[in-house]
């Protein structure tokens, strides 16, 4: 179906941060398939694990125990706030399940009227009907009938608006610690702490969408750890499978206890193949020193992006984000799609985001030398775009 505006590029193989097109060009991948190939392309450990699992057994359904899923869940619990995990296949599906978990929690506690979510302008939570309503973007909702009921949007970062939006029907606050699609906008760490406090004050839940920010992307395993807070429930996807489709809901026992047999489910979710991929990714990300290196290289990239913006004030006005999720704010003179295309011409893949931001989200195994190479390509792309603007005047 004609759902995508695809670039005329096709890839036949990848290695680490690099991809080769079918016509033989080598490209540096600073998009990671939208922040998803967390340990790079064709990582030998991931490839071997998935290949061996595929040869043994891929799928059995959740009618049976799945040792790979039990192992992955135990490791996620060990390295997070959560007491238990539900596996699914995508970010939207994780968010749907997270919303169901929140509503069930209040219903079981005698408050079925608490079903509404306070969400944020500029959010992105997925493309299914409920996650679209949580996203709240009028453009995405148009033509798909009445939005699913129960989502109230307030300006990102505005605590007064959050307080005003909380009422007797509020079940939870749902937020991305860093808005990804919406333009790589990080929430203030103090704002996240205040959200935690206001949830405790009103007896509502804090539901974090860490689909894009989790699994090490911020330089810590979970982005909320920078704020020193814990959510009650959280979604994860994208980087968790390193490119293999996998999503997860992580929850405290007080929430998870109510998702009894029959309340929620999936056929594929958490199958042996997907969870073997998840375990292989965790083997790499949780290895001693790995996240320290992500943090180091992320700071290096941040500095370089700042210098780039300063060198090209007519093209870029600033840098925002955290870890290896960084946005280059472009000036009105240049669209992010034009910049993205110019970067492709230089051999660099990036991703556009909202508010005319160019998003870079390389795999977490990126080296400083590769950052230098990417910055040089961005620099040439910016230089090329500058005279375009001059000529247009
Ligand atoms: C990508 C994304 C989603 C949706 O994930 P899908 O796997 O595309 O369904 C939800 N939330 C956030 C924050 C995302 O970045």
Do the beta carbons of residue 15 and residue 27 sit within 8 Å? no
Report the C-alpha gap between 234 and 249 in whole angstroms: 6
Please name the fold of domain 11-30+288-392.
3.90.1150
Which of 124, 208, 215 best tests ligand 1's pocket when mutated (most atoms within 8 Å of CB)? Answer: 124
Atom 5 of ligand 1 has which residue's CA nearest to it? Answer: 91
Give the burial class of 267: count Cβ atoms within 10 A of its Cβ; 0-12 exposed, 13-18 middle, 19 or more buried. Answer: exposed
Cβ of residue 36 lying under 6 Å from some atom of ligand 1: no
**Three-state DSSP state, 161:** helix
The residues near 270 (Cβ < 8 Å, ≥ 6 apart) are 62, 66, 69, 72, 86, 87, 88, 246
Cβ of residue 212 lying under 6 Å from some atom of ligand 1: yes
Model confidence pLDDT, tens digit, residues 12-53: 999 999 999 999 999 999 999 999 999 999 999 999 999 999
The residues near 295 (Cβ < 8 Å, ≥ 6 apart) are 219, 220, 323
Cβ of residue 92 lying under 6 Å from some atom of ligand 1: yes
Tokens of 309: 């913006």
Tokens of 65: 């125990």
**Three-state DSSP state, 213:** coil
Which of 35, 91, 123 best tests ligand 1's pocket when mutated (most atoms within 8 Å of CB)? Answer: 91
The domain spans of the chain are: 11-30+288-392, 44-285
How many angstroms does the Cα of residue 387 sit away from the middle of ligand 1?
Answer: 36
Tokens of 378: 């961005």
Q: Which atom of ligand 1 is nearest to the CA of 93?
A: 9
Cβ of residue 91 lying under 6 Å from some atom of ligand 1: yes
Please, what is the angle between helix 368-392 and helix 290-311, to 10°?
20
Cβ of residue 211 lying under 6 Å from some atom of ligand 1: yes
Atom 11 of ligand 1 has which residue's CA nearest to it? Answer: 125
Cβ of residue 237 lying under 6 Å from some atom of ligand 1: yes
How many angstroms does the Cα of residue 390 sit away from the middle of ligand 1?
Answer: 38
Q: Residue length, the chain?
A: 393
pLDDT (tens digit, 0 to 9) for every residue of the chain, 393 residues total?
999 999 999 999 999 999 999 999 999 999 999 999 999 999 999 999 999 999 999 999 999 999 999 999 999 999 999 999 999 999 999 999 999 999 999 999 999 999 999 999 999 999 999 999 999 999 999 999 999 999 999 999 999 999 999 999 999 999 999 999 999 999 999 999 999 999 999 999 999 999 999 999 999 999 999 999 999 999 999 999 999 999 999 999 999 999 999 999 999 999 999 999 999 999 999 999 999 999 999 999 999 999 999 999 999 999 999 999 999 999 999 999 999 999 999 999 999 999 999 999 999 999 999 999 999 999 999 999 985 545 554
Of the candidates 51, 53, 46, 14, the residue with the CA atom closest to the CA atom of residue 32: 14
Report the C-alpha gap between 298 and 366 in whole angstroms: 9
Q: Rounded to 10 degrees, what is the CA torsion of 33, 82, 172, 142?
A: 20
Q: Which atom of ligand 1 is nearest to the CA of 179?
A: 13
Report the C-alpha gap between 247 and 165 in whole angstroms: 29
Atom 10 of ligand 1 has which residue's CA nearest to it? Answer: 125
Report the C-alpha gap between 249 and 88 in whole angstroms: 8
Give the burial class of 380: count Cβ atoms within 10 A of its Cβ; 0-12 exposed, 13-18 middle, 19 or more buried. Answer: middle
Please name the fold of domain 44-285.
3.40.640
Report the C-alpha gap between 153 and 391 in whole angstroms: 41
How many angstroms does the Cα of residue 129 sit away from the middle of ligand 1?
Answer: 13
Q: What is the largest CA-CA distance in the chain?
A: 66
E-assigned strand segments in 121-251: 151-154, 170-175, 178-179, 185-186, 205-209, 233-236, 247-251
How many angstroms does the Cα of residue 93 sit away from the middle of ligand 1?
Answer: 9
Q: Rounded to 10 degrees, what is the CA torsion of 214, 215, 218, 222?
A: 60
Give the burial class of 149: count Cβ atoms within 10 A of its Cβ; 0-12 exposed, 13-18 middle, 19 or more buried. Answer: exposed
The pLDDT assigned to 344 comes to 98
Q: What angle do CA 264, 270, 271 make, to 5 degrees?
A: 120
Atom 6 of ligand 1 has which residue's CA nearest to it? Answer: 91
The pLDDT assigned to 16 comes to 98
How many angstroms does the Cα of residue 267 sit away from the middle of ligand 1?
Answer: 20
Cβ of residue 96 lying under 6 Å from some atom of ligand 1: no
DSSP code of 360?
A: E
The pLDDT assigned to 392 comes to 52
Place of tokens 């920078």: 226
Of the candidates 261, 262, 264, the residue with the CA atom closest to the CA atom of residue 233: 264
How many angstroms does the Cα of residue 150 sit away from the middle of ligand 1?
Answer: 20
Cβ of residue 346 lying under 6 Å from some atom of ligand 1: no
């Amino acid at each position: 179906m004609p759902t995508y505006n695809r670039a005329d590029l096709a890839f036949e193989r990848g290695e680490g941060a690099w991809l080769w097109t079918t016509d033989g060009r080598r490209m540096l991948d600073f998009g990671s398939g939208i922040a998803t190939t967390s340990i790079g392309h064709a990582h030998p450990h991931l490839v071997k694990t998935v290949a061996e699992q595929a040869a043994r057994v891929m799928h059995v359904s959740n009618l049976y125990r799945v040792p790979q899923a039990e192992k992955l869940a135990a490791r996620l619990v060990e390295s997070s706030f959560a007491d238990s995990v539900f596996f699914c296949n995508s970010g939207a599906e994780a968010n749907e399940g997270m919303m169901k978990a929140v509503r069930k929690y209040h219903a079981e506690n005698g408050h079925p009227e608490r079903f509404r979510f306070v969400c944020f302008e500029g959010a992105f939570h997925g493309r299914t009907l409920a996650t679209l309503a949580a996203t709240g973007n009028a453009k995405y909702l148009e033509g798909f009938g009445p939005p699913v009921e129960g989502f109230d949007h307030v300006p990102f970062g505005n605590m007064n608006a959050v307080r005003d939006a909380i009422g007797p029907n509020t079940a939870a606050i749902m937020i991305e610690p860093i808005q990804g699609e919406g333009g790589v906008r990080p929430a203030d760490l103090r704002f996240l702490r205040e959200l935690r406090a206001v949830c405790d004050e009103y007896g509502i839940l804090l539901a974090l969408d860490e689909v894009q920010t989790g699994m090490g992307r911020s330089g810590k395993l979970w982005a909320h750890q920078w704020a020193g807070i814990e959510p009650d429930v959280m979604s994860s996807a994208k980087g968790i499978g390193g490119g293999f489709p996998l999503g997860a809901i992580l929850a405290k026992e007080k929430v998870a206890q109510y998702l009894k047999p029959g309340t929620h489910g999936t056929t594929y979710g958490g199958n042996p193949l997907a969870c073997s991929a998840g375990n292989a990714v965790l083997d790499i990300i949780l290895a001693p020193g790995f996240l320290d290196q992500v943090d180091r290289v992320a700071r290096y990239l941040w500095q370089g992006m700042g210098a780039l913006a300063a060198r090209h004030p007519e093209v870029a006005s600033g840098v925002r984000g955290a870890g290896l999720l960084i946005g280059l704010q472009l000036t009105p003179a240049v669209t992010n799609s034009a910049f993205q295309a110019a970067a492709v011409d230089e051999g660099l893949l990036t991703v556009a985001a909202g508010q005319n931001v160019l998003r870079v989200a390389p795999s977490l195994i990126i080296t400083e030398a590769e950052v230098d190479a990417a910055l040089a390509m961005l620099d040439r792309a910016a230089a090329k775009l500058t005279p375009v603007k001059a000529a247009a005047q």
